[in-house]
Amino acid sequence: MTQNRSHEPPDTIAVLIPALNEEDALPLVLGRMPGIVGRVVVADNGSTDRTAEVARAHGAEVVGENERGYGAACLAGIRHLSEQGDPPDVLVFLDADGSDDPAGIPRLVDPILTADADLVLGVRRGVGGDVGTILPHARFGNRLVLGLLTGLFGKRFQDMPPFRAIRFTSLLDLSMDDRNWGWTLQMQIRAVKRQLSIVEIETPHRRRLEGESKISGSLAASLKVGAKMFYTLGRERLRGH
């Protein structure tokens, strides 16, 4: 006889959104959050605008992290989820600029909910099937780093997208510690080392809804990010398992 699962609680899904001065884009992002999401945490990374106020007004939990850095904001959000209320089963990372559509979250988390994956990467695809709307210099750097990752760790990836979902217990097992631009790369490398099941799915990608990019819109910032990526590759290679 087939067991009736209709009264069992669903897997809990939380979304973590690192944000720096995104008061204009955040309402558009939070307004498209699908119903399967139980909690939304905005990690305010020292914004000087109304980012925190706008996030709360749209039902998000807000945690502050004044140390500037994508990884620092993510770590603050993870601590909040671990310490405040019940931790989720699945955590989705989503940028605050609207370049990825929250409506794609159900498709992103499905391989985890069906036990087919521990980590799902939303590979950015834009018009013509290329890597979203990434500018040429950032696209080149992305491909170079991924090529080196393949050579050093034996795993081929299509992208290092911010839009990703991971089983929360698996995330904690990775012991993430990068505090800025190496966050996504470090997660993928450590997931390979821990032999997590990783799935890549294509997701639509567009230009940010409002404001300007903090990284890819500037060649100088992109070069700094590139240097951190090379550092992360070397550090994780020397670190071993």
Mean pLDDT across the stretch 203-226?
70
Phi, psi values for residue 238, rounded to 5°: -75, -25
Structure tokens at 34: 């699908």
What is the pLDDT at residue 212?
57
Q: How many residues does the chain have?
A: 241
Q: How far apart are CA 201 and CA 64, in angstroms?
A: 31
Helix, strand, or coil (residue 204)? strand
pLDDT in tens, 96-127: 999 999 999 999 999 999 999 999 999 998 75
Please give the mean pLDDT across all residues of the chain.
89
**Nearest partner of 68 among 179, 160, 190, judged by Cα:** 179
Locus of tokens 């990884």 = 71
Which pLDDT does position 109 carry in this prediction? 98
- At residue 209, the pLDDT reads 61
Among 3-12, 113-122, 224-233, the range with the most confident prediction by mean pLDDT is 113-122
Q: Has residue 2 got a pLDDT over 80?
A: no
Q: What is the pLDDT of residue 127?
A: 56
Cα→Cα distances 41→16, 30, 68, 178, Å: 5, 10, 17, 19
Q: In what order do the strands lie in the sheet with 90-93?
A: 61-64, 39-44, 13-19, 90-93, 164-167, 119-125, 198-204
pLDDT of residue 110: 97
Q: What is the pLDDT of residue 3?
A: 38
Across 1-19, average pLDDT: 67
- pLDDT band, residue 211 (cuts 50/70/90): low
**DSSP 8-state secondary structure symbol assigned to residue 241:** -
Say if strands 39-44 and 13-19 run parallel, antiparallel, or are unpaired. parallel
Domain ranges in the chain?
Answer: 13-239
Q: How far apart are CA 161 and CA 133, in angstroms?
A: 12
> Beta 39-44 vs 119-125: how paired, if at all?
unpaired
For domain 13-239, say whether CATH 3.90.550.10 is its number.
Answer: yes
57 or 222: which carries more pLDDT confidence? 57
Rounded CA-CA distance 176/186 in Å is 7
The pLDDT value recorded for residue 23 is 96
Look at residue 140 and tell me whether its pLDDT is greater than 90. no
Task: Give me the sign of the Cα torsion angle 198, 201, 202, 204.
Answer: negative
Residue 75: helix, strand or coil by DSSP? helix
- Over residues 148-168, the mean pLDDT reads 97
- pLDDT band at residue 231 under the 50/70/90 scheme: very high
Q: What are phi and psi of 54, to 5 degrees?
A: -65, -40
Average pLDDT over residues 229-240: 94
In tens, the pLDDT along 50-98 reads: 999 999 999 999 999 999 999 999 999 999 999 999 999 999 999 999 9
pLDDT at 183 over 80: yes
Q: Which pLDDT value is given to residue 9?
A: 47
Q: What is the longest distance spanned by two Cα atoms in the chain?
A: 63
Where does the pLDDT of residue 142 fall: very low under 50, low under 70, confident under 90, or very high at 90 and above?
confident
Say whether 106 sits in a helix, a strand or coil: helix
> How far is residue 19's CA from residue 92's CA, in Å, rounded to a whole number?
14
